[in-house]
Amino acid sequence: DWTKDLGKYESNARALEILNEIFIKIEENNGASVTFAMPEK
């Protein structure tokens, strides 16, 4: 089980925006190895 925080944001809506950015980045790279820098805010 994963127990580490990737980031904390002011709202669930902002966290979902970040997740969407991650998924877009993965799709753009056809699932290849991807590096994503988590935004501070």
Rounded average pLDDT per 10-residue block, the chain, 41 residues: 82 92 88 80 79
Tell me what pLDDT residue 9 has. Answer: 87
Tell me what pLDDT residue 1 has. Answer: 72
Phi-psi region of 30 (alpha: psi -120 to 50; beta: other; left: phi over 0): left
Give all strands (DSSP E) within 1-41, no chain letters. Answer: none
Q: Report yes or no: 10 and 41 within 8 Å, Cβ to Cβ.
A: yes
Tell me what pLDDT residue 41 has. Answer: 79
Q: Under DSSP, is residue 1 helix (H, G, I), strand (E, B) or coil?
A: coil
